[in-house]
Structure 1
Amino acid sequence: MTVRRIDYYYVTVPDAPGEGRRVFSSLAERGVNLLAVLAFPVGDGKSQVDLVPEDPAALESAAGQAGLELSPRKHAFLVQDDDRVGAMAEVAGKLADAGINVTAAAAVAAGNGRYGMLLWVSPADYETAATVLGA
């Protein structure tokens, strides 16, 4: 299992057709490689798009050039491992044993027998979680 500390940002956009294309195209045109994306509606006709860049500085620069208003830098974890029964339970169990609550998670099978998971914990628990997970 590989667990990486990641920085991420979010943008809030209208919940409308083409907004994802606008965000992703503007970043791609500026050479930003995204490791992960999570998007969801937040109400009032808006959606939040979480962006996990390979290079945070490149995202910050590109977003400014593209007129995208980024949130402040935030922290989470990227877990990558072999896809097997109980893989996510193992990660959640390590945190539970340390008394750390998982505030959010998103996972997907990545093909070729692999999976990836974004994992969020409280900022107050981030350093302890990093130690527990070996990040």
Structure 2
Amino acid sequence: MAEIVTYFSLTVANKPGEGAKLLTSLKDAGINMLAFWGYPVKGKKAQLDIAPTDPKAFTKAAKKLGLEVSAKQSSLYVAGADQPGTVAESLAKLAAAGISVRAAQALSTGDGKFAVLIQVADDDVKKAKKALK
């Protein structure tokens, strides 16, 4: 079963220590995250996408820290028993519903469980949740 989760994006310099500095600031502000992923973007920048467990607390902390974050965005969070093809099945369900996936980040926890965050167009989020039932 899929859950809709909120995430935010922000851009930092793509150099050693920038992610650690940002995450430490958020930790010190008491922010817990469901997920975090970062990747290089054009120029010498990196985009960080953060799915906080408490979006309101995150936006408040980000403002206090002077961070420029995107408007809230939605992603789908799917977790369960880790078996071969589990993520493929989720993506196939979305394809069958005519939904394009913008990005997906999957992880096995090593103890028989997995989780995947799936980004789709904002207009497709509710349709995607229904497709992943």
For the aligned pair, the TM-score class normalised by the smaller chain equals over 0.9
* 1:90 corresponding residue in structure 2: 89
Q: Give the AA of the match of 2:82.
A: D
Matched, 1:99 2:91: no
**Residue 127 of structure 1: how far off its partner (Å):** 1.6
% of aligned pairs identical?
38
Pairwise CA RMSD of aligned residues?
Answer: 1.0
**Residue 109 of structure 1: how far off its partner (Å):** 0.9
Look up the SS of the partner of 1:68 in the other structure.
coil
**Residue 114 of structure 1: how far off its partner (Å):** 0.7
Q: Deviations over 1:80-119 (max 9, x none)?
A: 1111101011101111111111121111111211111110
**Structure 2-normalised TM-score?**
0.95
Look up the SS of the partner of 1:112 in the other structure.
coil
Distance 2:36 2:104 in 1: 12
Count of aligned residue pairs for this structure pair: 133
* 1:77 corresponding residue in structure 2: 76
**Residue 124 of structure 1: how far off its partner (Å):** 2.0
Distance 1:98 1:80 in 2: 20
* 1:53 corresponding residue in structure 2: 52
**Residue 26 of structure 1: how far off its partner (Å):** 0.6
Q: Deviations over 1:42-86 (max 9, x none)?
A: 021100000000000010011111111111111111111111101
Look up the SS of the partner of 2:90 in the other structure.
helix
Matches within 5 A, 1:18-29: 18-29=17-28
Distance 1:69 1:127 in 2: 27
Runs of 4 or more consecutive aligned structure 1 residues displaced over 2 Å after TM superposition? none
Matched, 1:6 2:5: yes
* 1:117 corresponding residue in structure 2: 116
Matched, 1:30 2:29: yes
What are structure 2's unaligned runs of at least 5 residues?
none
